[in-house]
Amino acid sequence: MKILAVIQARRESLRFKNKVLSRLCELTTLEHVIIRTLKCKLVDVTVIATTNRKEDDEIAQIGNKWGIEVFRGSEEPLTRFFEVARIYRPEHVIRIKADCPALDSEVVDTAITSHLFKNAHYTTNTLQRTYPLGYDVEIFSYKALEWLYLNSLHPVEREYISLKFEKFCPFPVNHLRCRENFSGLRLTIDYKEDYEVMKVLFENLYSENPFFGFKEVKKVFKKCPEIFNLNSHIPPNAGVLKDFAKCTQNLERE
């Protein structure tokens, strides 16, 4: 197998409870992510990776409903992500976030094409962000993911999978950039305000095209930018910073 897409999903969320099960039109956020990942032309196999906790049984049930293979394992995201890769042994692994219901399959396929053409070990559009938050694409070679698994030692690095690569990456990074800078847009669901923005987007675009993509979102932004004001005050890495501070405090107490 060449390309494995792993959708990381769990119900636990400190900032917006059950965000992956929040509904947009007739489907949950997770279901939107699933069908959009399945639309990617260059992905060979898609797997949902969730935890063994009982509260995540519903995540597994949704995967089964859509005919998606489900892996259940560690509560630690990096360990769970690598365990999936170790089972399937793909050449490359794509990390898909379950809280990004507007995921654009064309952006993912563009990233895969670039990754393979350049024989890259790590391709991302997150380190030099020009795409909106929520259109994140990260592709790891098996070798790069294994290195990350073995060298990410801080608990926050185990929680936020590619955080280590922001500080140091032993492989050349293949940056995927958008022609225009839309890095200020939040098209993910991490806070209640994010959900309100996504509801408006889906209510306006979904009925005409259930797979609406970045092109349609850009048109909405240029025509009605006020829609995105509700969550514009939230920094892109707000969740990471909060979790890092909390984890550091816990380590100091120990």
Tens digit of each residue's pLDDT (9 = 90 or more) over 165-185: 998 999 999 999 999 999 999
Q: How confident is the model over 193-204, as pLDDT tens digits?
A: 999 999 999 999
Is residue 211 scored above 50 in pLDDT? yes
Q: Say which CATH topology domain 3-253 has.
A: Spore Coat Polysaccharide Biosynthesis Protein SpsA; Chain A (3.90.550)
What whole-number percentage of the chain has pLDDT above 90? 85
CA 71, chain centre distance (Å): 17
Is residue 246 scored above 70 in pLDDT? no
Is residue 244 scored above 60 in pLDDT? no
Sign of the Cα torsion 107, 110, 116, 117 reads negative
Contacts of 54 (CB under 8 A, 6+ apart): none
In the chain, alpha helices (H): 29-38, 57-65, 77-88, 105-117, 142-151, 155-159, 163-167, 192-205, 214-223, 238-253
| Mean pLDDT for the stretch of residues 135-155 | 96
| Mean pLDDT for the stretch of residues 213-229 | 93
pTM: 0.91
pLDDT for 240: 58
Is residue 239 scored above 60 in pLDDT? no
pLDDT for 41: 98
pLDDT for 250: 44
